[in-house]
Chain A
Amino acid sequence: GAGVSQTPSNKVTEKGKYVELRCDPISGHTALYWYRQSLGQGPEFLIYFQGTGAADDSGLPNDRFFAVRPEGSVSTLKIQRTERGDSAVYLCASSLGGTGADTQYFGPGTRLTVL
């Protein structure tokens, strides 16, 4: 079946602009995660949704970052007043959302460059 998809694959923006990154999870997966990966580092957690609600947003770096998942499927990560330090690859993952250590499957990522 289809995996996690993310759009756009690349986004170049100017400092101070607003950007939206989209994630389509695997069909039937109730849990959705956003991570951010800088060059040479492992992914860092941003936010986790179970269904429509943000169950854990402890990884969001500041209030410029916001994410929604209004219908419990597609999610959008929104970044306001972008800064050069926001440049990274933004990864989305989804899982079945069970009580055990359910596997998170990752999308290809969106590479964000803030000039």
Chain B
Amino acid sequence: EDQVTQSPEALRLQEGESSSLNCSYTVSGLRGLFWYRQDPGKGPEFLFTLYSAGEEKEKERLKATLTKKESFLHITAPKPEDSATYLCAVQAATGRRALTFGSGTRLQVQP
């Protein structure tokens, strides 16, 4: 059974204080690992797809990395508008298209 565990559950940062969110996964062959951002009352917003170990992707203050067992979302010099829940999900290579999500990390960036 595919599993995704995210840590920490919640993180409070000061503006400009860089940090990393962790996503540990077990999957029967990885088709892709996805990062989403979710604001309160909204649907998940796509950020990145990673396909294989060693891959990295960047967007503004966010950088996602992938190993064979985990992914990290690095946030550099965060701003208050980066406050949101960040969700990690995996899609198995078995042919099943469903995403398996973690419970998310709630990030709060204080000015």
- Residue pair A42, B104 in contact (C-beta under 8 Å): yes
- Contacting residues, chain B, for A43 (C-beta < 8 A): 44, 87, 89, 99, 101
Q: A103-B49, A105-B46 are in contact. Are A42 and B98 (CB under 8 A)?
A: no
Contact of A100 among B32, B42, B101, B102 (CB under 8 A): B32
- Contacting residues, chain A, for B79 (C-beta < 8 A): none
The interface size bin for chain A is 20 to 34
Q: Which residue of B lies closest to A111 (CB)?
A: B41
Q: How far is the CA of A41 from the CA of B97 in the complex (A)?
A: 20
Q: Is A55 an interface residue (CB 8 A)?
A: yes
- Residue pair A40, B103 in contact (C-beta under 8 Å): yes
Number of interface residues of B (CB under 8 A): 25
Q: How far is the CA of A58 from the CA of B41 in the complex (A)?
A: 27
- Contacting residues, chain B, for A21 (C-beta < 8 A): none
- Residue pair B31, A59 in contact (C-beta under 8 Å): no
Q: A56-B97, A100-B32 are in contact. Are A42 and B43 (CB under 8 A)?
A: no
- In chain B between 14 and 37, which residues have their CB closer than 8 angstroms to a CB of chain A? 31-32, 34, 36
- Residue pair A48, B42 in contact (C-beta under 8 Å): no
Q: Which residue of A lies closest to B6 (CB)?
A: A42
Closest 9 CB pairs of A and B: A101-B32, A42-B101, A106-B43, A45-B98, A101-B31, A106-B44, A108-B43, A109-B43, A48-B97
26 A-B residue pairs with Cβ-Cβ distance under 8 Å, sorted by A, are A4-B43, A33-B97, A35-B99, A42-B4, A42-B87, A42-B101, A42-B103, A42-B104, A43-B44, A43-B89, A43-B99, A45-B98, A48-B97, A50-B97, A56-B96, A56-B98, A58-B98, A59-B98, A100-B31, A101-B49, A103-B34, A104-B99, A105-B46, A106-B46, A108-B41, A108-B42
Instruction: Give A contacts to B, CB under 8 Å.
Output: 4, 31, 33, 35, 40-45, 48, 50, 55-56, 58-59, 91, 93, 100-101, 103-109
Contacts A45-B98, A48-B98 known; list 6 others, CB within 8 Å: A42-B102, A42-B103, A43-B89, A44-B101, A104-B99, A108-B41
